Chains A and B, each alone.
Chain A
Amino acid sequence: MTYRKPLPQIEPANTTFWEGLAAGEFRVPKCDNCGHYNWVPFPACRSCLNEAQTWTPVSRDATVWSFSVVHRGPGAFNEEVPYAVVLAKLAEEPRGCIVIGNTVGIDPADLYVGMPLRIVFEEIPDEDVTVYRFAAAGAPDSVVRESDDADAALSVENQPATVA
């Protein structure tokens, strides 16, 4: 089954990030001068305006900072309601990075502010991109399917935590 939800139109400046996801890393620009992380990436550090930043793999540990269970979705998302959108705060400091995303393997009813999460990866069949998802802490690193069984891949998102 074709993946029909929006995917990134990858900007040249951001290829390192998306290559990182494919390589099993979540890379965040870290300022070479003050050491602050910056999310979303900006051309210069938002703390000290230094332009030199290094894409730095983070631990992928995060917590739910806020969340919403969506019952009416735009476009193809509406075929998957209810689904969760979370704002996750990465473990890294200074400057706690708050990242928006969907969950995988978590029953939306189980979400709470402060819930430990882990960033995992999902390769999108027939597309040149791997995306990130938020799984419960302790989940396997990847929801990438060994096979190219895209129907099974899609169904994983709607399963309870034990599946992922």
Chain B
Amino acid sequence: MARPRQAAIAGVYTTKQGKLPDRTSFSLQLEAIKGACDDAGIPVEEVDGIIPLSMSDHLPGTTATQFWAAQLGERPLGLMETGGASGALAKAALAIENGMCEVVVLFYGKAGSLVGPRGTAAADKAPRVPDWSFYQAGAYMTTWYALWAQRYMHEFGATHADLAEVAVFTRYHATLNPNSIMGRKGEITVEDVLDSRPICEPLNLLDCSLDNDGGYAIVMTSAERARSARSKPVWVLGGAESTYTDFYTTINDPWFPEEGKAVRRAANRAFEISGIGRDEIDVAGLYDCFTITTIRDLEEMGFCKLGEGAEYVKEGHCRLGGSMPTNTDGGLLSNSHAGDPAGMHTIEVVRQLRGECGERQVPNARIGVSLQQGWAVHGMAGVLVMAAD
């Protein structure tokens, strides 16, 4: 049985996503905070808990939380910064339910830098990095997911064409999202993905997420306030988070154990706490930094069995019209990836549950789930289950 509704997402906001040379990270963050509060109809002055995501702006010598506490008027704020977006929101809901704070804003914004290899200039002299850092081997995020994909393909017999199916359905969704970065370029085929230039084999350009500027924010509040908010509340049914490893240094064999890792634990807890079964999910936002990620997300979330993620995608479940439309905004692959897009999937699920998605609307979407992961391949994970009513 589903839990009583005690906290809700009352406001969401996304800034323009793309190349934003005239913007700063700070101004995107501030715009997002104001925009999400306005969407909720809650004055910024009433925010009393903040979740600044990674890379949030702050002054030297202070923490992001302290900086934003001072920036927002030096009022005492609840410290809600730990965890990725879905997991942090799950904790924020518990904090709200228990009176620790009443209006929490999660936010992010980045402009003028790149997270991919283009963002790293060649040094004149060998830079020094921590002893076990993968930077010494010329690895970066894409390389790690490529290593994961290679090992996955080796163990389960999946092919690059299998992975490419993820890029194909997410691009299709992006074509139905007027705000997506890649939608205007039209649909792509498996062959397009296989023919795009290699980045880190087996991953090609179209297996990789975008690398753009942008910001977003999410406002969560109590049931009482949400009912009188400007926008239709989306109720938090439950969520959880989990972490299992360090920052891309320790790898254990097996990498794909039957019992799962962080995503499995977070998903199991989130579904249990929320009283929702996996077959009740109408719409999903699953972290898709690379094509392999979505395949693994589906397996670890328990929507299919280990090794069957590619088959699940090919059966059409994730595509609009399928049993569980996934990443309907075009995801990180074709909508936007602005550095830390941890909250973007939650925002799209909220918009679906509000019924605001126009051409890409999932009919009668009532229950949705968002998965955020990162800081190693499936290293830290947060899962949030939400309902329209």
- In contact, B124 and A69 (Cβ under 8 angstroms): no
- In contact, A4 and B124 (Cβ under 8 angstroms): yes
* B100 at interface by CB-CB < 8 Å: no
- In contact, B151 and A77 (Cβ under 8 angstroms): no
- In contact, A4 and B125 (Cβ under 8 angstroms): yes
- In contact, A68 and B147 (Cβ under 8 angstroms): yes
Chain A residues engaging chain B, CB cutoff 8 angstroms: 2-11, 14, 17-18, 39-42, 46, 65-80, 82-83, 85, 87, 89, 96, 98, 100-102, 113, 124, 127, 131
Give the interface SS of chain A, mostly helix, strand, loop or mixed: mixed
* B201 at interface by CB-CB < 8 Å: yes
Chain B 112-136 against A: per-residue CB contact (8 Å), 1 yes, 0 no? 0000110111111111111111111
- In contact, A85 and B126 (Cβ under 8 angstroms): no
B-side interface residues, number (CB < 8 Å): 45
Residues of B within 8 A of A41 (CB): 132
Residues of B within 8 A of A7 (CB): 126-129, 136
Known: A70-B200, A85-B147. 12 other contacts (CB 8 A): A9-B129, A9-B131, A11-B130, A17-B131, A39-B250, A42-B250, A66-B150, A68-B139, A69-B198, A70-B199, A71-B197, A85-B138
A2, A69, A72, A101: which has the most chain B beta carbons within 10 Å?
A72
Distance of A41 Cα from B130 Cα, bound (Å): 13
Least distance between A13 CB and chain B CB atoms (Å): 9
Smallest CB gap from A112: residue in B: B154
Given A40-B249, A78-B117, A87-B251, does the pair A9, B130 have CB atoms closer than 8 Å? yes
Distance of A82 Cα from B127 Cα, bound (Å): 21
Top 9 A-B pairs, shortest CB-CB distance? A77-B138, A74-B120, A68-B146, A9-B128, A66-B151, A98-B251, A69-B201, A74-B117, A40-B132
Q: Give 27 CB contacts A-B under 8 Å.
A: A2-B124, A2-B125, A5-B136, A6-B128, A7-B126, A8-B129, A11-B131, A40-B250, A42-B250, A65-B253, A66-B148, A68-B203, A70-B199, A71-B198, A72-B116, A72-B117, A72-B200, A73-B117, A74-B117, A75-B123, A77-B117, A77-B138, A85-B137, A85-B147, A98-B253, A100-B137, A101-B137
* B143 at interface by CB-CB < 8 Å: yes
B116, B120, B137, B148: which has the most chain A beta carbons within 10 Å?
B137
* B140 at interface by CB-CB < 8 Å: yes
Least distance between B164 CB and chain A CB atoms (Å): 17
* B62 at interface by CB-CB < 8 Å: no
